[in-house]
Structure 1
Amino acid sequence: MRARSVLSALVSLFALTVAACGGSAGSSGGSQTGQDLVIGVPMSITGVQAKEGGLAKQGYDLWLDWINAQGGVNANGTKHKVVLKYEDDQSKPDISAQLTTKLITQDKAQLLLGPYGSATTASDAVVAEKNGIPMVEANGAAQAIFNNGYRYTFGVLSPANKYLQGVIDMAATLNPKPSTMAMLSADDSFSLEVAKAAQEYATAKGFNVVYTDRYPNGSTNLSGLVANAKAKNPEMLLNSGHLAEAVAINKAAKDLRLDAKLYAYSVGPSTPDFVNSLGTDSHYVYGGSQWTPQVKYKPSFYLSVPDYVAAYKKKYATSDDPDYHVAESTAACLALQKAIENAGSLKPDKVRDALASLDVITFFGRIKFDSRGINTYKPMVVEQIQTDGKHHTVFPPDVADAKPQYPTPTWSSR
Structure 2
Amino acid sequence: MRARSVLSALVSLFALTVVACGGSAGSSGGSQTGQDLVIGVPMSITGVQAKEGGLAKQGYDLWLDWINAQGGVNANGTKHKVVLKYEDDQSKPDISAQLTTKLITQDKAQLLLGPYGSATTASDAVVAEKNGIPMVEANGAAQAIFNNGYKYTFGVLSPANKYLEGVIDMAATLNPKPSTMAMLSADDSFSLEVAKAAQEYATSKGFNVVYTDRYPNGSTNLSGLVANAKAKNPDMVLNSGHLAEAVAINKAAKDLRLEAKLYAYSVGPSTPDFVNSLGPDSHYVYGGSQWTPQVKYKPSFYLSVPDYVAAYKKKYATSDDPDYHVAESTAACLALQKAIENAGSVKPDKVRDALASLDVITFFGRIKFDSRGINTYKPMVVEQIQTDGKHHTVFPPDVADAKPQYPTPAWSSR
* Residue-by-residue CA offset, 1:49-92 (whole Å, 9 max, x unaligned): 00000000000000000000000000000111100000000000
Shift in alpha-carbon separation, 1:97–1:16, aligned structure 2, 3 A: farther
- 1:366 match: secondary structure: strand
Deviates more, 1:218-227 or 1:3-12: 3-12
Assess if the C-alpha contact under 8 Å between 1:369 and 1:375 holds in 2: yes
Contact 1:385/1:391 (<8 A) preserved: yes
| CA distance in 2 between partners of 1:168 and 1:356 (Å) | 32
- Deviation of 1:27 after TM superposition, in Å, equals 1.6
2:214 maps to what in 1?
Answer: 214
Distance 2:13 2:219 in 1: 71
How far the C-alpha of 1:351 sits from its partner, in A, is 0.3
Is the CA contact 2:293–2:309 (under 8 Å) kept in the aligned structure 1?
yes
Q: Tell me the TM-score normalized by structure 1.
A: 0.98
| CA deviation string 1:280-302 (max 9, x = no partner) | 00000000000000000000000
CA distance in 2, matches of 1:397, 1:83: 41
Question: How far off its partner does 1:16 sit?
Answer: 6.5
- Note if contact 2:22-2:28 (Cα within 8 Å) is conserved in structure 1: no
CA contact (8 A) 2:45 2:89 kept: yes
Q: Is the 8 A contact 1:49 1:91 kept in 2?
A: yes
Deviations 1:209-260 (A, max 9, x none): 0000000100000000000000000000000000000000000000000000
- Whole-angstrom distance in 1 between the partners of 2:2 and 2:238: 88
Q: Deviations over 1:366-405 (max 9, x none)?
A: 0000000010000000000000000000000000000000
Secondary structure in 2 matching 1:303: coil
Corresponding residue number in structure 2 for 1:386: 386
Query: Conserved in 1, the CA contact under 8 Å of 2:21 and 2:27?
Result: no
Q: Is the 8 A contact 1:40 1:113 kept in 2?
A: yes
Q: CA deviation at 1:117?
A: 0.2
Unaligned runs of 5+ in 1: none
* TM-superposed deviation, 1:28: 1.3
Q: Please name the residue that 1:318 is paired with.
A: 318
> Offset at 1:20?
6.4
TM-superposed deviation, 1:14 = 3.4
Match for residue 138 of structure 1?
A: 138
**Does the CA-based 8 Å contact 1:254-1:411 persist in structure 2?**
yes
Aligned-residue offset at 1:25 = 2.6
1:132 CA drift (Å):
0.3
The answer to whether the Cα contact below 8 Å between 2:114 and 2:135 also exists between their aligned partners in 1 is yes
Asked if the contact 1:47/1:91 (under 8 Å) is kept, the reply is yes
**RMSD over aligned Cα atoms:** 1.4
CA positional deviation for 1:8:
7.0
> 1:13 deviation in Å?
6.5
| Number of equivalenced pairs | 414
Distance 2:129 2:11 in 1: 49
Deviation at 1:29, TM superposition (A): 1.5
Where structure 2 has 5 or more consecutive residues not aligned to the other structure, the ranges are none
Percent of aligned positions that are identical: 98
> Where has structure 1 moved over 2 Å in runs of 4 or more?
1-23
Q: CA deviation at 1:18?
A: 2.7
Task: Give the drift of 1:355.
Answer: 0.3
Q: TM-score, normalised by structure 2?
A: 0.98
- CA deviation after TM superposition for structure 1 residue 30, in Å: 1.4
Preserved contact between residue 23 and residue 31 of structure 1 (Cα < 8 Å): no
Return closer, same or farther for 1:344/1:294 CA change in 2, 3 Å cut-off: same
Residues of 2 paired with 1:285 and 1:388: CA distance?
13
Structure 1 Cα separation of the partners of residues 75 and 323 of structure 2: 31
* Separation in structure 2 between the aligned mates of residue 338 and residue 401 of structure 1, nearest angstrom: 31
